[in-house]
Structure 1
Amino acid sequence: MAFELVPPTLERLPGYRDALQRGWSPDNVSPERTALLHLARIVEDPAGFVAALTDAEAKGAPITLPDGTTRPRLPGYFLWGWDGDFCGSFGFRWQNGTSALPDYCLGHIGYSIVLWKQRRGYATAGLRLLLDQARARGLDHVELTTQPGNLSSQKVIQANGGTLIGPRRKIAAYGGTEELLFRIAL
């Protein structure tokens, strides 16, 4: 089966749960905390967990940043990479009417491929598929960030037309560390 991006469903949830249990996380900021939180939510309310992964109208609760502060939720959703099995998670968020993002948002698109499915081109393919969805939302560009040492992610972004805008510091809520900002014109 070819790689594709699919909406999260209850039928596909066991693959997501298995990846979390094997040490993977969709979050590179607080991976362990997020994995444990997701596992607990899946046990508590599997259907509610899956439904909360799509919030194109930003009706969900505010988001909690790593330092415990909260900020307004942006419209967005998650899709899962799928090749017959769970491969990873791709998140897309935006602000209606603009391509700009607030400073607490680390980019329009984030992705994480499970370790046992890496080096197959899935991140590059998934990002390419999400760019079509960003165009459909009327964005003229998307921004993505990565750690300076994450050469694999930088290659994925550049393979999809990304250009380095430059280094920048994350806001204090994320620890004020340096990241690289890339932009992909749509």
Structure 2
Amino acid sequence: MQLVWPSREHLSSYIAALERGWSPNNLRPEAGREDLAQIHADPEGFLASLVDPEAKGPPVALPDGDTVPRLPGYRRWMWDGEFCGSIQLRWQPGTSALPDYCLGHIGYAVVPWKSGRGYAKAALRALLPEARARGLDHVDITTDPGNIASQQVIRANGGVLVEEFVKLPGLGGTPELRFRIDVRALR
């Protein structure tokens, strides 16, 4: 598995995953349908929107429908000859802190038919040096307390549990675990 930049070359495989019901957003399952609509309307614009290190894109929709300012960030796609998942890095320039509406620096999702192959663990490991290169001291990653697989991915990459909290109502108001990975310690 390797991380690739979203591109025309990989787009048909991404579309196939969306058409099978997969969503790149664990909090907003409808995001997959929204991506399909954007791709059909403007494939090049959609691909460009996935790489936005200057936060020039539109505000981000929360699960409750509210919108919040976009953070700088980008998505990379997991690729093993076909699309197998997505991982995203987001940050605030000049600080490792995030606004309260952003649960973490990194989010990832593997298509169900490729789970259990270590792809999320490898993708996270590959993305951590990029976070350090963006000036971050650490990254925060959150997961549902019942998502043991995600917790294992995070811990395998040096993640340490720092808190259990309740998400803001706009993000679902449910319990969540926050892990931290010190990217300064990476070799």
Query: Shorter chain as normaliser: what TM range?
Result: over 0.9
User: C-alpha displacement at 1:65, in angstroms?
Assistant: 1.2
**2:168 equivalent in structure 1:** 171
User: C-alpha displacement at 1:86, in angstroms?
Assistant: 0.7
Distance in 2 (CA, whole Å) between partners of 1:97 and 1:53 is 22
User: C-alpha displacement at 1:10, in angstroms?
Assistant: 1.0
Q: Map Cα deviations across residues 117-168 of structure 1 (whole Å, 9 max, x no partner).
A: 1111110000001101001111110000000000000000000000001211
Query: Pick from 17, 36, 40: which aligns with 1:39?
Result: 36
**Runs of 4+ deviating beyond 2 Å:** none
Query: Pick from 8, 25, 30: which aligns with 1:10?
Result: 8
Counterparts in 2 of 1:75-154, with a 5 A limit?
75-154=72-151
User: C-alpha displacement at 1:19, in angstroms?
Assistant: 0.3
Distance in 2 (CA, whole Å) between partners of 1:135 and 1:103 is 21
Distance in 2 (CA, whole Å) between partners of 1:170 and 1:76 is 21
Query: Pick from 14, 23, 26: which aligns with 2:24?
Result: 26
Query: Pick from 146, 154, 159: which aligns with 2:156?
Result: 159
The RMSD of aligned alpha carbons is 0.7
Distance in 2 (CA, whole Å) between partners of 1:175 and 1:113 is 21
User: C-alpha displacement at 1:176, in angstroms?
Assistant: 1.2
Distance in 2 (CA, whole Å) between partners of 1:121 and 1:29 is 22
Distance in 1 (CA, whole Å) between partners of 2:26 and 2:146 is 13
Q: Structure 1 residue 56 and structure 2 residue 53: aligned?
A: yes
**Letter aligned with residue 100 of structure 1:** A
User: C-alpha displacement at 1:64, in angstroms?
Assistant: 1.5
Percent identity (aligned): 61
User: C-alpha displacement at 1:175, in angstroms?
Assistant: 2.2
Distance in 1 (CA, whole Å) between partners of 2:7 and 2:56 is 20
Q: Map Cα deviations across residues 25-52 of structure 1 (whole Å, 9 max, x no partner).
A: 1111011x11111111111111111111
